[in-house]
Homo-oligomer: A and B are copies of this chain.
Amino acid sequence: MVTAFDAFGGESVNPALEVVNLLPNELLAHRIVKVVLPTVFQKSRTVLMEAVRRENPDVLLSVGQAGGVSAIRVERVAINIDDARMPDNEGQEPIDCVIEENGAPAYFSNLPIKRMVSDLEARGIPAQVSNSAGTFVCNHVMYQGLFLADQEFPEMLAGFVHLPYLPKQVVSRPTLPSMSKELMVEALMQLLVTIIENTGQKDVILSGGSLF
């Protein structure tokens, strides 16, 4: 299962949605189910839970926009807090709200994040491990996915990938970085292949740390 969000924050498009829409419906004999999540704190959870319970996927990969970054970012961890710095698509703006009272303070992705970054790099695609998915709806959805895995779907792999802006999104602000749609589709395909091919194996030991 691959999820994407609708556009938010004044953007007319969301690179995650545009890229996920271009993925095939099958890859290496695995079915790909695409789910569009609203960029809304509560509603995204409802839609996600319903979809996961309906499909019981082997893998839940959520994809979002990180406007202003240069590289594909594979997230390491989701934290149990909502702190919006702008209203979501329904005007909600929670500040310092716990996501799940019964959840852990944080969940680490159980995807092979180091291998995922390394395989992108081997294809010449800029990528990095990210040590924060923020505190907006992206972190919220990543947290919910891993909470679901922890509570109900112990076999499910789950994680989150952040994409740069599309080139057309930065035409009016050309000092911001972007990545072409074609390269991001290639990247997501590779990420899914890496996940499928590494299932059941330990992640590689490669540095993906940050100093701060």
Contacts and interface: CB of A to CB of B under 8 A. Distances in A.
Interface of A: 9, 64-67, 69-71, 73, 76-77, 79-86, 93, 95-96, 104-108, 114, 121, 124-136, 138-139, 162, 167-168, 170-172, 174-180, 182-183, 203, 205-212
Q: How many copies does the complex hold?
A: 4
Contacts of A168: 124
Contacts of A104: 104-106
A67 B70 CA distance: 13
A124 B124 CA distance: 23
What 10 A-B pairs come out closest when comparing CB atoms? A177-B177, A83-B209, A132-B132, A106-B106, A124-B168, A71-B174, A66-B212, A135-B209, A180-B180, A85-B209
Nearest to A176: B70
A31 to B, nearest CB: 29
Nearest to A70: B177
Given A64-B212, A105-B105, A207 B126 contact: no
Main secondary structure of the interface of A (DSSP, over half): loop
A209 B105 contact: no
A93 to B, nearest CB: 7
Contacts of A95: 205-207, 209
B127 A174 contact: yes
Nearest to A210: B134
Nearest to A131: B132
Contacts of A108: 79, 81, 105
A178 B66 contact: no
Contacts of A210: 85, 132, 134-136
B125 A171 contact: yes
B207 A84 contact: yes
A70 B177 CA distance: 5
Given A135-B131, A177-B178, A70 B170 contact: yes
A96 B140 CA distance: 23
A76 B212 CA distance: 12
Contacts of A180: 179-180, 182-183
